[in-house]
Chain A
Amino acid sequence: MQLVQNFPFACILLTLICAVITSVLKPRAARYLTFFAICAVTAMTACVMVFTLKTGESYVYLMGHFPAPWGNEIRVGVLETVTMMVLCFVILFSFTGGMRVSVRQIEETKYNIFCILVDLTMLSLLALVYTNDLFTAYVFIEINTLAAAGLVIMRQIGRGVVAGVRYMIMNLLGSSLFLIGVVILYTITGHLLMEPIQDSVAVLAQTGKYHVPLTMVLALISVGLAMKSALFPFSSWLPGAYSNATPTASALLSSIVSKGYIVLLVKVYVRVIGYDVVRQLGVFDVLFVFGAAGMVMGSVCAVRAKTTRMMVAYSSVAQIGYIFTALGMGNEVGMVCALWHVLAHAATKSMLFISGAELDVASGDTHLRRDLRGGFWRSPLAATAFTLGSANLVGVPMLSAFVTKVMLSTAAINTGGRHAAITLACLAVSTLLNAWYFLNTTLHLFTPVRDESGARVVQSRVPMRGMTALSLIGFIALNLILGLWCGDILDALFTGLHHFA
């Protein structure tokens, strides 16, 4: 085994060790150590990605001395590493970009706990993406949930704590449904590892044995994970949680926490249960309906939101709707489209939260949309990043979300029938609403402030810290790369998905 193949395991252990050490550090040291951990994980992930792309193969890494199905193991392939690579950059830029605001908002002596929770979020994401075992997935779902709840309440304001409690209740319900699903699956197959389960499930589906438990398993796991990733009817916890946390936390919650569950759900469908069985049991159709409803309802709520953060938070509901609609197509193109949108949305939404927070700081911290007027002159870089993010989510060509919309429409038309009509209609409505609310905010940014006599008020530029500026530039670059090199990344995702099944 080559040295580079050890890197995924090293990433997991390094993040855990850094989190543990951070618990005794002073705020400044905690910040540096977390920054180091994120950078190290990003660098190692880059090496593994190059390795897997070069060999084009996936490999299994034993976590201990015992091979499957007796011991634990992780699986590393093109799909996992490419996904992890993009998400690593998102974590890095979110952490550095939101640092100024988070230092101000979080109690000084407890700042290290914030860093620990960032580390642990990354740890759980790594484990969820690489795991090859359903119970390991559950353990890290728990860590993810607890760390995310901590991130929601970090500001210790009343609304944040209420949002945190609500988040906890909904997410624990989701986790327990997932756990019950895993337990039933273990009872009817006798395995926890993904490949042996897939073989057993294929046999069960053929013979028709244990039909009811299998349906129940699929329903429980799908509903559990949909609840945790805020699919429309279960999304009531989302706006409060995202809009009352610190910017870094909002960025991580929207782009990392909910996305890990979706990657896991794809894994369950492709690697554990198999497309055919899922389609037979009609789960894809249910996801499709709720996804399409989420696309429209999220956008409608976002139009009605008064603050930018609330608007961006509700827009997440709509974007999660896109992902689940793509999943609901129930074919390979749909899966790749969903995974692609996970990456596109993670990169864009975190940029919107970080740049939105900077714009708020430059505009008097009211979070109101109308106070953003003239924001471009006060904070040009943040305004540019915000505009790019908005343009992306609206679906301007050359950017990543446009690719999603094209893929989604193509997949829907190829599927034909009701799918095509519903998808195209919802896409059209959602895109129009997206354009409405994002254009509204962006226009505010570029409208000069005038006094009562109509003369233009000169806006002084609000200084931005170098680290924040670098992060915003990083975000802009990441989004442009995702948009401009979408062909290569999509190819990699397709290859990864082929190895997956």
Chain B
Amino acid sequence: MAKAWKERLERWLTEEDSALERRMIAMQTREPDEESDEPDEATVIREAQERTVEQDVAERVHAWKERRGSKLMRRLYCALCVCVCVTMIFLLLFTVSTLPRFGSPNHPINNEVSARYIEKGLQETGAVNIVTGMILDYRAFDTLGESSVLFTAAMVVLFLLRMDEKSDQYSPLARVMREMPHADTYYEPHNDVILQKAAVILVPMVLLLGIYVVLNGHLSPGGGFSGGAIMGAALMLYVTAFGFKSIHRFFRYKTYQTIVLCALLTYAVSKCYSFYTGANGIHSVIPLGTPGAILSSGLILVLNICVGFIVTCTMYAFYAVFRKGEV
């Protein structure tokens, strides 16, 4: 370990080019390879045509940029943008100044809606934490939508950034990544001892805290979203310290898929039940339990766990695909 560090330090001191830079220079200065098989005439002509078209476009863009008119337009555009933003800020501030005073007893939001949440929330949802009772029981449909937003975002990001074996046939980004796999991770620390020692202590603690926040979501401040974010942070710390090889022993893309699938399905199916019984006036058989106990408040605990899983996996997946192109 010490030897490697010494070498690195020496290289840095002597200002020797890094491997990446050396490779980039090599690529730029390399003579074009002799093609073993002669390209046919049509390809040559097509390539030449493409090249002239590209050059032509580049020249035109350059000329357009340099023209006085376009410079003026750009300045005008910037000035207009600033004007619009300032006007918008002024208008919104003015609107806020005319709104009812926050916290005043005559505020329109102090109506029958919040009164019932506060007075009957505990009795009707079984959750000591009124906020959780509100988002996972009174307005559970909105929260189901919010979880789907996370799912949608994760799917789009995975589509764009996750590299498969065949991805470079379709995506230019994947081609670049294939050619230079360490291009954007070269300067990251590998096997950093301080980080690893800290992670060994921190990761279990942070994970435990996340689990606590999720499981106590109906009793104290917290819940699926905040607990999930904490657990996601623990996974990120782990992968930063020990690398993808270590985390792949227990968390792969398949694990991610399975967890999100099960969590969202449980969420959707349990909400199916409660919406159906609610709308048809059927009594729900799920007991609310004793308020204050960990096993209470009906479906809220289950939903919190589901949301916790979804948020954990999505946060980690975002981090992983942005860093490496795979989960």
**B130 interface contact, C-beta 8 A:** no
**A62 interface contact, C-beta 8 A:** yes
Whether the pair B117, A70 counts as a contact (CB closer than 8 A) is yes
- Taken residue by residue from 191 to 224, chain A's Cβ proximity to chain B (1 for < 8 Å, 0 otherwise) reads as 1000000001000000000101100100000000
B residues 108-146 touching A (CB-CB < 8 Å): 108-114, 116-117, 124, 137-142, 144-146
Residues in A neighbouring B95, C-beta threshold 8 A: 184, 212-213, 216
B73 vs chain A, min Cβ distance (A): 15
Whether the pair B149, A6 counts as a contact (CB closer than 8 A) is no
- From B159, B271, B276, give the contact of A113 (CB < 8 A): B159
Residues in B neighbouring A127, C-beta threshold 8 A: 145
Residues in B neighbouring A61, C-beta threshold 8 A: 279
**A416 interface contact, C-beta 8 A:** no
**B153 interface contact, C-beta 8 A:** yes
Whether the pair A63, B166 counts as a contact (CB closer than 8 A) is no
Whether the pair B145, A108 counts as a contact (CB closer than 8 A) is no
**B221 interface contact, C-beta 8 A:** no
> Would A64 and B278 be within 8 Å (CB), given that A146-B153, A180-B92, A187-B108 are in contact?
yes
> Would A139 and B149 be within 8 Å (CB), given that A9-B279, A23-B261 are in contact?
yes
Nearest B residue to A61 via CB reads: B279
Whether the pair B268, A146 counts as a contact (CB closer than 8 A) is no
Residues in B neighbouring A120, C-beta threshold 8 A: 148, 152
- Cα distance A106–B167 when bound, in Å? 10
- Cα distance A135–B138 when bound, in Å? 13
- Cα distance A140–B143 when bound, in Å? 11
- Cα distance A70–B148 when bound, in Å? 22
**B99 interface contact, C-beta 8 A:** yes
Which of A148-156, A327-335, A357-365 touches B? A148-156
Whether the pair A72, B112 counts as a contact (CB closer than 8 A) is no
**B5 interface contact, C-beta 8 A:** no
Residues in A neighbouring B99, C-beta threshold 8 A: 184, 187-188, 210, 213
- From B98, B124, B145, B159, give the contact of A110 (CB < 8 A): B159
**B91 interface contact, C-beta 8 A:** yes
> Would A147 and B108 be within 8 Å (CB), given that A108-B166, A158-B172, A212-B94 are in contact?
no
**B321 interface contact, C-beta 8 A:** no
Nearest B residue to A191 via CB reads: B113
**B39 interface contact, C-beta 8 A:** no
**B277 interface contact, C-beta 8 A:** yes
**A396 interface contact, C-beta 8 A:** no
A residues 48-77 touching B (CB-CB < 8 Å): 61-66, 69-72
Q: Kindly name the residue among A65, A107, A109, A158 whose own CB sees the greatest number of chain B CB atoms within 10 A.
A: A65
Whether the pair B141, A63 counts as a contact (CB closer than 8 A) is yes
> Would A64 and B109 be within 8 Å (CB), given that A13-B271, A136-B145, A213-B98 are in contact?
no
Nearest B residue to A157 via CB reads: B172
**B243 interface contact, C-beta 8 A:** no
**A371 interface contact, C-beta 8 A:** no
Whether the pair A187, B109 counts as a contact (CB closer than 8 A) is yes
Q: Number of A residues contacting the other chain (C-beta, 8 Å)? A: 62
Residues in A neighbouring B124, C-beta threshold 8 A: 65-66
Whether the pair A200, B108 counts as a contact (CB closer than 8 A) is yes
- Cα distance A153–B155 when bound, in Å? 12
**A467 interface contact, C-beta 8 A:** no
**B61 interface contact, C-beta 8 A:** no
**B281 interface contact, C-beta 8 A:** yes
- Cα distance A1–B280 when bound, in Å? 6
**B158 interface contact, C-beta 8 A:** yes
Residues in A neighbouring B138, C-beta threshold 8 A: 64, 66, 70-72
**B257 interface contact, C-beta 8 A:** yes
- Cα distance A149–B99 when bound, in Å? 35
- From B92, B100, B172, B269, give the contact of A187 (CB < 8 A): B100
- From A21, A139, A150, give the contact of B159 (CB < 8 A): A150
Q: Kindly name the residue among B117, B137, B172, B275 whose own CB sees the greatest number of chain A CB atoms within 10 A.
A: B275
A208 vs chain B, min Cβ distance (A): 12
- Cα distance A75–B94 when bound, in Å? 35
**A117 interface contact, C-beta 8 A:** yes
Interface of B is mostly: helix
- Cα distance A119–B244 when bound, in Å? 32
- Cα distance A190–B105 when bound, in Å? 13
- Taken residue by residue from 164 to 201, chain B's Cβ proximity to chain A (1 for < 8 Å, 0 otherwise) reads as 10110111110000000000000000000000000000
Whether the pair B164, A110 counts as a contact (CB closer than 8 A) is yes
- Cα distance A418–B165 when bound, in Å? 62
A198 vs chain B, min Cβ distance (A): 14
Residues in B neighbouring A108, C-beta threshold 8 A: 166
B282 vs chain A, min Cβ distance (A): 10
Residues in A neighbouring B4, C-beta threshold 8 A: none
Residues in B neighbouring A147, C-beta threshold 8 A: 152, 156
A405 vs chain B, min Cβ distance (A): 34
Residues in A neighbouring B53, C-beta threshold 8 A: none
A31 vs chain B, min Cβ distance (A): 16
- Cα distance A190–B117 when bound, in Å? 13
Whether the pair B167, A72 counts as a contact (CB closer than 8 A) is no
- Cα distance A200–B149 when bound, in Å? 31
Residues in A neighbouring B149, C-beta threshold 8 A: 139, 142-143, 146
> Would A13 and B268 be within 8 Å (CB), given that A110-B159, A116-B155, A190-B111 are in contact?
yes
Whether the pair B140, A107 counts as a contact (CB closer than 8 A) is no
Whether the pair B274, A64 counts as a contact (CB closer than 8 A) is yes
- Cα distance A189–B111 when bound, in Å? 9
> Would A17 and B140 be within 8 Å (CB), given that A143-B149, A186-B109, A191-B113 are in contact?
no
Residues in B neighbouring A184, C-beta threshold 8 A: 95, 99
B311 vs chain A, min Cβ distance (A): 15
**A286 interface contact, C-beta 8 A:** no
**B305 interface contact, C-beta 8 A:** no
- Taken residue by residue from 25 to 60, chain B's Cβ proximity to chain A (1 for < 8 Å, 0 otherwise) reads as 000000000000000000000000000000000000
**B265 interface contact, C-beta 8 A:** yes
Whether the pair A69, B112 counts as a contact (CB closer than 8 A) is yes
- Cα distance A212–B156 when bound, in Å? 39
**B272 interface contact, C-beta 8 A:** yes
Residues in A neighbouring B268, C-beta threshold 8 A: 13, 16-17, 20
- Taken residue by residue from 77 to 92, chain B's Cβ proximity to chain A (1 for < 8 Å, 0 otherwise) reads as 0000000000000011
Residues in B neighbouring A6, C-beta threshold 8 A: 276, 279-280
**B160 interface contact, C-beta 8 A:** yes
> Would A139 and B112 be within 8 Å (CB), given that A65-B278, A117-B155, A150-B159 are in contact?
no
- Taken residue by residue from 112 to 145, chain A's Cβ proximity to chain B (1 for < 8 Å, 0 otherwise) reads as 0100110010010001000001011001101100
- Cα distance A190–B109 when bound, in Å? 4
- Cα distance A123–B160 when bound, in Å? 22
- Cα distance A146–B276 when bound, in Å? 28
Residues in B neighbouring A188, C-beta threshold 8 A: 99-100, 108
- Cα distance A116–B151 when bound, in Å? 10
B69 vs chain A, min Cβ distance (A): 20
Contacts A153-B160, A156-B170, A158-B172 aside, 9 further interface pairs with beta carbons under 8 A come to: A16-B264, A64-B139, A64-B140, A70-B138, A71-B139, A140-B145, A146-B153, A147-B156, A188-B108
Sample of 14 A–B contacts (CB below 8 Å) = A16-B144, A63-B275, A64-B274, A108-B166, A109-B164, A113-B156, A120-B152, A143-B152, A146-B156, A150-B155, A189-B108, A190-B114, A213-B98, A216-B91
Give the 7 A-B CB pairs with smallest separation, nearest first: A139-B145, A72-B141, A150-B156, A190-B108, A65-B278, A63-B141, A107-B170
